């Protein structure tokens, strides 16, 4: 037979099947709407089976239900079971027992089954009380020895705004507050060592707004208690103090900063120059120059600052990419996620960050985003934002944010 002849044979309609002389054709009763025989697959993998009507009520038991489903030509997969979910008695169903005969009424049972995964093995082991009891009484595995993988301490210094006067005082109160937080930082480092989670490296993250400035609002000319150069001098000395404490305790220290709105060099309200034209970035550069003069004492301290046309940075912290941005790039704290996603599309420095640190909004906030990403908004160190309290009634609490990063991600997050 040629190939053409074979194709023609396949396309020929099949001959109608002929009933044998003793075969009786018994049509099925008409099914009400929704009870047509068939199978529906659910998204979770279960199958809902509507069986043809039967003259007898389904007997209880999985084996009987399974038999009825398999009579439809369905194979129940391994690890699955059959469960009767609905049985409906229909007293008004009609039949034609033979071709050509009038329909007669005969009651039938309509049944619906579910083919679903069998109960997990742990359920067959006993009741839930026993399961919980045995799990709580298990012997704890011996604690594994501390590995040599790096653990890093992250210190977030945000929104000090040196020179600003508010409800919590002026420059003397700011310096005293930061000195107290540095003392608490010493205590925190000792606490980590006590519980066996001592960090081996430290990261100083300056989240911006280090000085109050004079060009953001008209009130600054009358409320500040320092000149601009004095603000910068105070910030520089506080940064030296904080970094010196870390440099004396850790074999590796990394200091990073980013651009911000209060520290941006301005003419009136307008920014001047590229994004790196920022007093906070300039102070970090001055500290880096000073440390470079004494490699014996500070050779283990390195610095990370934004590229000329960027105001954010990212760096590897113990195997986790951490991004640093001030937060003034988006209008409300709730918009951080939208901005971060946009940075990813734009291939900006924080695009690949697993943790994003920001400041600007003067209160602590932490939010998990996407798949395994975390946004941490640091609290402020300043003397208070009275204008915002008058407008909203909200009062920000000052603090120094710290957390650790290790092989398993972040932990030990505290506000000092």
pLDDT, tens only, 274-315: 999 999 999 999 999 999 999 999 999 999 999 999 999 999
Assign domain 152-415 one CATH number from 3.40.449.10, 3.60.21.10, 3.30.1330.60, 3.90.1640.30: 3.60.21.10
Regarding predicted confidence, which is higher, 65 or 93? 65
Per-residue pLDDT reduced to its tens digit, 68-123: 888 888 888 888 889 888 888 888 776 656 666 666 777 888 889 998 888 766 66
220: how many CB neighbours lie within 10 A of its CB?
Answer: 16
Give the global pTM. 0.71
Would the pLDDT of 366 be above 90?
Answer: yes
Res 86: pLDDT: 87
For residues 31 and 33, what is the distance between their CA atoms, to the nearest angstrom?
A: 6
Would the pLDDT of 325 be above 80?
Answer: yes
Q: Comparing C-alpha atoms, which of 370, 306, 377 is closest to residue 341?
A: 370
For residues 102 and 90, what is the distance between their CA atoms, to the nearest angstrom?
A: 19
Q: Which of the residue ranges 102-116, 146-160, 232-246, 375-389 would you say has the lowest mean pLDDT?
A: 102-116
Res 390: pLDDT: 78
Give the pairing type, strands 320-324 and 355-358.
parallel
Q: Is the dihedral of CA 335, 337, 342, 347 positive or negative?
A: positive
Domain locations in the chain? 34-124, 152-415
Would the pLDDT of 243 be above 70?
Answer: yes
Q: Which residues contact 217 (CB under 8 A, 6 or more apart)?
A: none
Residues facing 86 on adjacent strands: 112
Res 257: pLDDT: 98
């Amino acid at each position: 037979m040629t190939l053409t002849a074979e194709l023609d044979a396949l396309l020929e309609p099949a001959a109608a099947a002929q009933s044998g002389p003793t075969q009786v054709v018994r049509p099925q009763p008409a099914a009400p709407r929704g009870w047509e025989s068939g199978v529906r697959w659910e998204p979770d993998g279960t199958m809902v089976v509507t069986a043809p009507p039967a003259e007898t009520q389904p007997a209880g038991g999985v084996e009987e239900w399974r038999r009825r489903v398999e009579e439809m030509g369905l194979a129940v997969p391994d690890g699955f079971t059959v469960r009767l979910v609905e049985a409906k008695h229909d007293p008004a169903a009609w039949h034609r027992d033979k071709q050509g005969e009038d329909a007669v009424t005969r009651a039938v049972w309509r049944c619906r089954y579910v083919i679903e995964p069998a109960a997990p093995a742990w359920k067959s082991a006993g009741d839930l009380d026993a399961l919980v009891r045995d799990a709580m009484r298990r012997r704890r595995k011996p604690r594994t020895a501390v590995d040599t993988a790096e653990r890093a301490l992250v210190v977030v210094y945000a929104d000090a705004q040196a020179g600003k006067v508010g409800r919590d005082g002026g420059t003397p109160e700011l310096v005293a507050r930061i000195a107290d937080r540095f003392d608490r930082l010493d205590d925190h480092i000792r606490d980590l060592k006590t519980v066996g989670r001592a960090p081996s490296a430290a990261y100083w993250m300056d989240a911006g707004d280090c000085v109050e400035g004079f060009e953001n609002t008209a009130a600054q000319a009358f409320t500040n208690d320092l000149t601009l150069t004095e603000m910068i001098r105070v910030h520089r000395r506080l940064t030296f103090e904080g970094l010196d404490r870390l440099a004396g305790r850790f074999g590796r220290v990394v200091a990073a900063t980013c651009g911000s709105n209060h520290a941006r060099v301005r003419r009136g309200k307008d920014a001047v120059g590229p994004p790196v034209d920022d007093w906070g970035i300039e102070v970090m550069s001055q500290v880096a120059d000073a440390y470079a003069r004494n490699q014996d004492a500070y050779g283990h301290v390195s610095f990370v600052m934004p590229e000329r046309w960027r105001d954010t940075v990212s760096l590897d912290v113990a195997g986790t990419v951490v991004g640093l941005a001030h937060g003034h790039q988006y209008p409300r704290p709730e918009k951080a996620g939208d901005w971060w996603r946009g940075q990813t599309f734009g291939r900006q420095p924080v695009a690949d960050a697993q943790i994003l640190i920001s400041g600007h909004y003067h209160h602590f906030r932490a939010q998990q985003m996407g798949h395994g990403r975390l946004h941490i908004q640091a609290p402020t160190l300043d003397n208070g934002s009275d204008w915002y309290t008058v407008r909203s009634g909200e009062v920000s609490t000052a603090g120094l944010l710290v957390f650790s990063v290790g092989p398993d991600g972040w932990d030990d997050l505290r506000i000092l």
